Amino acid sequence: VDKTSAAYQKNLIRTARYNLLVVLVFTALNLVMLLAGSGRYFLFSSTICYYLPFFGYMFDLYTVGTYTLTGLVLGLVPLAGYLLFWLLSLKNDRWLIPATALFVLDTLALVGIIFLNGSIIGMILPIIVYAWVMVTLVRAVLAGARLRKHFAQPEEVFPEEVFPEEVFPEEQTEAEETPAEETVEADFVAAEQE
């Protein structure tokens, strides 16, 4: 695989967009399961979007109350941001830059949850998932910059040796202005005389 090709760079952007969509979908599923009292949790979920309603759910003594709904509204703001950046990145990959910045904030929130938890053991899988998504987002941002730099360069001017003047003459001489039919007839007559 040519890692400098435009196709490879576009694939990096496509992968990051796919991972961002997976984060959106699994976060929405986790919020629905939290409000339903399921007690289940999927990986590939946004920490800020999930834990704000989760802490509200805890303060409401594991019922859906005022704190839960407040946390849900606050948690939907970054989720809407992810959705907006994902949609806008369909047309312009530069929108992956603010999505990456938002995911950095989400990663910092995960670090805060790890410190609140007091143990890193139970958080190894979320750390791996976050590292994977972060790497794909950063690689996509860099790939987009490479693509823009590549297409911003002017067309390469070919040197004289590649296309010498004999191949593409600039001016036609009088001999070249003779119609092709007359030249063919003259060649035929000369061949018969020999």
Q: Per-residue pLDDT tens for 104-113?
A: 999 999 999 9
Q: How far out from the chain centre does Cα 164 lie?
A: 43
CA 20, 21, 27, 31: dihedral to nearest 10 degrees? 150
State the pTM of this model: 0.73
Q: Per-residue pLDDT tens for 128-162?
A: 999 999 999 999 999 999 999 887 755 444 444 44
Distances (CA, A) of 49 to 23, 60, 148, 174, 187: 10, 18, 32, 79, 84
pLDDT number for residue 154: 52
